[in-house]
Amino acid sequence: MKRRIFTAALLTAPLLARSARAEETLRLAIGQRGNWDTSVSELGQRMGFFKKRGLVLELLYTAGGGETQQAVLSGSVDIGIAVGLLGALGIAAKNGPVRIISAETTGAADLFWYVPAASPLKSVSDLAGKTVAFSTVGSSTNTVGLMMQAQSGVPFKLTATGGLPATLTATMSNQIDVGWSAAPFGVEALQQAKIRLLFRGSDVKAAQAQTVRVNVTHASVLARRKAAIEQYMQAYRETVDWMYSSPDAIKIYAEFAGVSPEVAQLTREQFFPRAALEPDRIAGTESVMEDGVKLKYLSAPLTQQQLDLAVQLQKPVP
């Protein structure tokens, strides 16, 4: 009997040790809590997709992509979610240690700019000299705002306002002329006619077919923890698939985001087509760099060597 117990212990000990070692913690900085696209890690953790891959996620929410990028570069977190692609390429152009591990959002249909219902501003052509919000420098809202400025030829003043609630407060109190938002935040206010849509990110032609946000890590983290990051990305893919296939996804997301199921459904159907969250393809890199040079965000396009170093998409794993 003792022999059998001893033998069983010998057989199970390695399994227990592997299980203990397999559970790793990854720290994430995520731009804008509650957006559909930035909720992948939160929802995936709730549904057990990351746990199945031996991962525990510590989630820190930031005011935007620029702040997220800085958290990655400082080593405060392992992965940054929803960093503006142009911001990440700007760091790479200076040979900074940012590494793009996946696309986060392609196209900018989720972003929109608004004014209080009583505002006299009716269109982009009315914005000369007016203050127009974006979140943080290097974010996708910064990039899309610059693109709209270039497309329209209207010299409005882009102004960093941070996160969504702070921007709404500043806009409704007339501290800034035009606010920015991302679905689902502000959708209910639009429906209730408290605010009025001025333009959408999808109105910016240059952004329509481009990847606007990416997920990044630090070069040293990728070198040390590549296996964990590969597993993270595999669970990320599985979560995105679930978000567009499970009838439970809308309910669980609505509870997390603090919105009604109707607003959650509208957010997914009208602001985030499934292709927008495809993680394994960075679209429009060349046009992004061309725009970056025109907007004086880049001094020159990245070389192929710089691009190959900066963009290191993680392949699917079993």
Q: What is the reported pTM?
A: 0.84
Provide the pLDDT confidence category of residue 64 given band limits of 50, 70 and 90: confident
One-letter amino acid of 92: A
How far from chain centre, in Å, is Cα 189?
A: 23
30 and 59 co-located in one domain: yes
Residues 6+ apart with CB under 8 A from 63: 31, 32, 135, 136, 162, 163, 166
Residue ending a domain, choose from 159, 189, 207:
207
Output the average pLDDT for the chain.
Answer: 92
The answer to whether residues 83 and 145 belong to one domain is no
**pLDDT average, residue stretch 32-52:** 96
Q: 305 and 217: one domain?
A: yes
Q: Which residues contact 165 (CB under 8 A, 6 or more apart)?
A: 185
Q: Are residues 89 and 33 in the same domain?
A: yes
Domain match, 230 and 297 both: yes
Task: Quote the number of domains for the chain.
Answer: 2
Overall average pLDDT of the 51-67 stretch: 94
Mean pLDDT of the 306-312 span: 97
The stretch 164-188 carries a mean pLDDT of 95
How sure is the predictor about 12, in pLDDT bands with cuts at 50, 70 and 90? Answer: very low
Structural domain of 185 = 111-207
The owner of tokens 């009025």 is: 196
Same domain, 100 and 219: yes
User: Considering only CA atoms, which of 149, 240, 245 is closest in space to residue 199?
Assistant: 149
pLDDT value, residue 14: 45
Q: 229-286 pLDDT, tens per residue?
A: 999 999 999 999 999 999 899 999 999 999 999 999 999 999 999 999 999 999 999 9
In sign, the C-alpha dihedral spanning 180, 92, 307, 222 is negative
CATH number of the domain encompassing residue 175: 3.40.190.10
